[in-house]
Structure 1
Amino acid sequence: MDIRPTTRADIPAVDALLARAYPVLLKPDYPASVLVTALPLISRAQPGLVTSGTYYGVFDGAILVGAGGWSMAAPGGASLRPGVAHVRHVVTDPARVRQGIGRAMMERVLFEARSAGAVQMACQATRTAVPFYAAMGFLALGEITVPLRGGIDFPAVQMKLDF
């Protein structure tokens, strides 16, 4: 597998990966009433993030099987906190979970964020991803509600990892 920063040319593949992964992976942990409103909003690639240089694709040959990244900017435009980086839009192909794809990508994300001066990584984890992040060393801080758009909120868990 190859892990590399994504580019504008990867946006369709990231879109397709998010669209096929999130409905399957999140279904056991969220009621249908949440998913019906949230999935159209969260299952889309964010072009600025995908082309940021800090968002990575995990490729098995030419096939995108995982993606995710980090930024110093917080999701939703929250205030910057010096030294705090943020996990962004992580996904693994549902047919390829538990094969080390997410771990390899997150190790790259953590390495790059530390190299850029981050001393802490913050994460707004889906309920589904909490065990994964805990296995990576993240500490759950508590339940949060992530505002997506005009009255549409998404339940998540705030997590952090100190370097």
Structure 2
Amino acid sequence: MCQTITIRPAVPGDHDAVSTMLARSYRALLAADYAPEVLRDTLPFLTRANPALMRCGTYFLAVDGDGRPLAAGGWTDTSPHGGAARRGEGHIRHVATDPDHARSGLGRRLMGEVIASAEVAGVRVLHCQSTLTARLFYKALGFENGGRIDIRIAPGLWFPAIQMRREGA
């Protein structure tokens, strides 16, 4: 059966549905690359959709015909830690695909929309804090590995990731 999928900007009313999709995605897809205790401690923080992203206009959802998010992600001109980006630079934010749709091309399609949106806004360099799991996905999209980092999730709580960067065409 062919399913109609639409990509659209997120809105505040999407918060709970995006959080549900993030939880499904991260629990299933990160398990191969992260220790169970790391996921146990960090997923309660990582799976909550950021309300600011739901209203920024540059965070997108791939939704099915019922409006259910199957993938989400976007970019901002602020870092995930709140600092302003340099002119012409942006940050990839909270990308995930529902595990039932992983490796189907949907994430690549969504990221095509994200990258195009950033380029239209004059962004020529995109930074990304990739999960260990997604590093090859981002590499296939033209991101270069900048090395391993640890992201502070909460006081005393760190999440291993890869700093990546993509320069525009």
TM-score by shorter chain over 0.5 = yes
Runs (5+) with no aligned partner, structure 2: none
2:90 aligned with 1:85: yes
Report the identity percentage: 42
Alignment partner for residue 44 of structure 1, among 45, 48, 54?
48
| Separation of aligned partners in 1, 2:35 and 2:87 | 36
Offset at residue 158 of structure 1 (A): 0.4
Q: Deviations over 1:101-150 (max 9, x none)?
A: 10011000000001101110100000000010011111001001111111
2:28 aligned with 1:24: yes
Q: How does 1:141-160 map to 2 (within 5 A)?
A: 141-160=146-165
- The structure 1 segments of at least 4 consecutive aligned residues displaced by more than 6 Å after TM superposition are none
Q: How does 1:43-122 map to 2 (within 5 A)?
A: 43-62=47-66, 63-122=68-127
Offset at residue 80 of structure 1 (A): 2.3
Runs (5+) with no aligned partner, structure 1: none
- TM-score scaled to structure 1, two decimals? 0.97
In structure 2, the partner of 1:5 is 9
Offset at residue 84 of structure 1 (A): 1.0
| Separation of aligned partners in 2, 1:9 and 1:33 | 32
**Aligned CA-pair RMSD:** 0.9
Q: How does 1:117-136 map to 2 (within 5 A)?
A: 117-136=122-141
Q: Are the equivalent residues in 1 in contact too, given 2:145–2:165 (CA < 8 A)?
A: yes
Range moving further from structure 2, 70-79 or 9-18: 70-79
| Separation of aligned partners in 2, 1:95 and 1:111 | 25
Offset at residue 79 of structure 1 (A): 4.5
